[in-house]
Structure 1
Amino acid sequence: MTCGASLMDERGRGNPKPVRRKLFTKKLAPLFSQAIDSADPQKTFISSKFNLYVGKGNLTSHIQHYTQAMTLWSNNGPIMCQMFSSSFNEMPLRWFYKLETRSINDWKQLQQVFISSFITNSQLPKEVDVLLTTKKDIMESLREYNKRYWAAYNEIDNCNEKLAVTSFKLGLQPTSKLRQSLTKKQPTDVSSLMRKMEQHCKIKDNL
């Protein structure tokens, strides 16, 4: 029977019961110290529902959510270590299995290793004011400005497209022909702006 399936009684009728997951002690033991490896606090474990970490986001919040889900076992270091990988999506799970043999001695150390490994992916999303202050430098090509601007745009969650279009235009030099064109007929969304910018660059390249 697979994990998550309802247990059936002898008559074949559905009889849902809490899903119990065996501790993966033997499978994960090589990553941990002998103390964690040899610990066997209980034979079975009732799995909690975890928020999966996908490789980016707030690391502290993820640990807090995991600890909250593991409230009944939060003081049991070995179980906290052994079950931590259950809160990972595919990418961080690959990182987890690449940890050196016997490199983790306790739950506190595992948290520290986790944070230090993913800290570069946990930057907070940029705010919209980043776009408002992004300006094209005099010596910067239009394509370079375009690349820099959209790199910043992509790091902003749910950015208003009309605002992004207006900000892009205002970031251009006042004498820019593209800015003048955008002023006469401003695109209504990001896709239209990108097409117009590309058309402008192609015309300029052919001059």
Structure 2
Amino acid sequence: MYNGRTVLMEYVSYCNQRMVVHSKNKVLICKVFPSSFGLVAMRWFDGVGAGSIDSFKKLIQAFGSCFISCSRVPRPLDSLLSLSMREGETLKTYLDRYWEIFNEIDGDFNDVAIRTFKVGLPIEHGLRKSLTGKPVTSLRQLIDRIYKYKRVEED
């Protein structure tokens, strides 16, 4: 459901994927597009003048103009650089915060992610020592190492 608060382009992308089989039938797509609108979006749609929009592209543009405030603004890279594990924070909580911010940054910063994750850990933390002693070279290796360490810590 599009309720006026979710990310606009994610909703549009979802609708496009749902209708990919009918991509040539723009009239059908325009009719199906509002089928999962919530109250706020439906109120907007009901207020659109009949015949004022003559294509799916224009429908998306009008929709976007109305709900532009719901667009996702990517986080800057420095929000990741300033992140560190808080005193008394568990590794799981730190991981959750870290990956949430990392996933909100646009671009390919895997090498930065590897370094900033390690630096964000306290100097005496066992995982930081492990990452310093035997550095990882890919994000996949970092994730594997984190989860191995986390399993040991939880046991």
Scaled by the length of structure 1, the TM-score of the pair is 0.48
Per-residue deviation, residues 37-89 of structure 1 (Å, max 9, x unmatched): xxxxxxxxxxxxxxxxx9328xxxxxxxxxxxxxxxxxxxxxxxxxxx99x8x
* Structural mapping, 1:163-178, within 5 Å: 163-178=112-127
Report the AA paired with residue 161 of structure 1: N
Q: Provide the residue aligned with 1:55 in structure 2.
A: 8
Does 1:103 pair with 2:47? yes
Deviation (angstroms), 1:162: 1.5
For the pair shown, the structure with the greater C-alpha radius of gyration is 1
Instruction: Verify the 8 A CA contact 1:56 1:118 in the aligned structure 2.
Output: no
Structure having the higher helix fraction is: 2
Deviation (angstroms), 1:163: 1.2
Per-residue deviation, residues 87-109 of structure 1 (Å, max 9, x unmatched): x8x877854984467423597xx
Report the AA paired with residue 103 of structure 1: G
Does 1:117 pair with 2:79? no
Q: Number of residue pairs matched?
A: 122
Instruction: Verify the 8 A CA contact 2:80 2:101 in the aligned structure 1.
Output: yes
Aligned-residue RMSD, C-alpha: 3.6
* Structural mapping, 1:1-207, within 5 Å: 55-56=8-9, 94-95=36-37, 98-99=42-43, 102-104=46-48, 114-120=64-70, 122-206=71-155
Percent sequence identity over aligned pairs? 26
What 5-or-longer segments of structure 1 have no aligned partner? Answer: 1-53, 58-84
CA distance 1:99–1:165, shift in 2 (3 Å): same
Deviation (angstroms), 1:160: 2.2
